[in-house]
Structure 1
């Protein structure tokens, strides 16, 4: 029995064998991982060397980055062109407005000058009319004085041929004695017409 116990003690236990197996497994995993890491490192290095040989930034994003840059530059160019066209259109519109303002100012100035000329013409016409009225009134006064100084028979002959309205107008401004002498020399129909006109001229005059 002592020999059997000794032989049992000489064999390694199951725990020891399990530990040894785990160590071998861990060693394999470490070797495998180490090999994979080296492989990945070699692949990355190859990609970097290829990009550098082609003159591209590292990382393999050169073409895509250049495409985005070209698209961005084209969009910026289009925006700048649109802004430039808009600015030119605004400048053109501003110049048109300025020309329109100058045209309106010139038209307004011409209108003011025409108004001043019209006012001057009206003033001149009013003065001319006033002078004409004064001259006509003076002429009428002289005619009345002439008729008053004529012989009643000669003056009556003139008034007989005169338009009844004019005759009535002259007689209304003559002295009463001269007018009566001329009326006495008129024919009855003419004297009646002149008398009716004189009465009509005085009909609207208030008695008081």
Structure 2
């Protein structure tokens, strides 16, 4: 087995000084670069390390309302006051309206009751009047025809015609025969006129 020839001792010693020189050169360059950078950053570092100057404290600002804001606020308050006043008046009117409606309802109820009472009274009066007229007619029928004719001569034809229309035809004929022609004619016209308006169909 053959061995590689050993390097001569002089060559290895020559490489070591060259490497040391290169490393020293690189180190020198790095140190120079670092120095340059420190030189440029020196003022900045000095300014950063220096105590900051304290600025004078500014006085607190107070928000002062302008005249426009004050006028707007006053107008808003005035409007709120008017709205409150209007609402109060509206509430009073509504209360008065409710009271008026209740009073009207009460008066209508009283009027309805009075109307019903009046209708009942009129019915009673009509019934009583009809009963009284019927009774008086019966009295005239039982009286002498001459006396009844004398009474009818003093009555208005429209009034005496009402009695004659209710009487029995025989009694009415006896009374008519004792009347003057003028009175008998007037009573006949009244009775005929009442029946003329009665529809026949």
For the aligned pair, the TM-score class normalised by the smaller chain equals 0.5 to 0.7
**For residues 80 and 196 of structure 2, what CA distance do their matches in structure 1 show?**
82
Match of 1:116 among 106, 109, 115: 109
TM-score by length of 2: 0.65
Aligned CA distance change for structure 1 residues 191 and 106 (closer, same or farther; 3 Å): same
Consecutive unaligned residues of structure 1, counting only runs of 5 or more, are 1-33, 39-43
Across the two proteins, how many residue pairs are aligned to each other? 156
Q: CA deviation at 1:202?
A: 2.5
Match of 2:170 among 177, 181, 189: 177
Q: CA deviation at 1:108?
A: 0.9
The answer to whether structure 1 residue 145 and structure 2 residue 174 are counterparts is no
Aligned CA distance change for structure 1 residues 102 and 195 (closer, same or farther; 3 Å): same
Query: Which residue number corresponds to residue 198 of structure 1?
Result: 191
User: What do you get for the CA RMSD once the two structures are aligned?
Assistant: 3.2
Higher helix share: 1
Tell me the secondary structure at the aligned position of residue 71 of structure 1. coil
The answer to whether structure 1 residue 103 and structure 2 residue 96 are counterparts is yes
The answer to whether structure 1 residue 125 and structure 2 residue 114 are counterparts is no
Q: CA deviation at 1:81?
A: 4.6
Query: Which residue number corresponds to residue 92 of structure 1?
Result: 85
Higher relative contact order (CA 8 A, sep 6+): 2
**For residues 96 and 143 of structure 2, what CA distance do their matches in structure 1 show?**
69
Tell me the secondary structure at the aligned position of residue 184 of structure 2. helix
**For residues 79 and 192 of structure 2, what CA distance do their matches in structure 1 show?**
85
Query: Which residue number corresponds to residue 22 of structure 2?
Result: none
Aligned CA distance change for structure 1 residues 95 and 159 (closer, same or farther; 3 Å): same
Query: Which residue number corresponds to residue 28 of structure 1?
Result: none
The worse-fitting range, judged by mean Cα deviation, of 87-96 and 129-138 is: 87-96
Q: CA deviation at 1:74?
A: 7.2
Q: CA deviation at 1:125?
A: 1.1
The worse-fitting range, judged by mean Cα deviation, of 145-154 and 74-83 is: 74-83
Bigger CA radius of gyration: 2
Tell me the secondary structure at the aligned position of residue 64 of structure 2. helix
**For residues 108 and 98 of structure 1, what CA distance do their matches in structure 2 show?**
15
Aligned CA distance change for structure 1 residues 90 and 206 (closer, same or farther; 3 Å): closer
Consecutive unaligned residues of structure 2, counting only runs of 5 or more, are 1-42
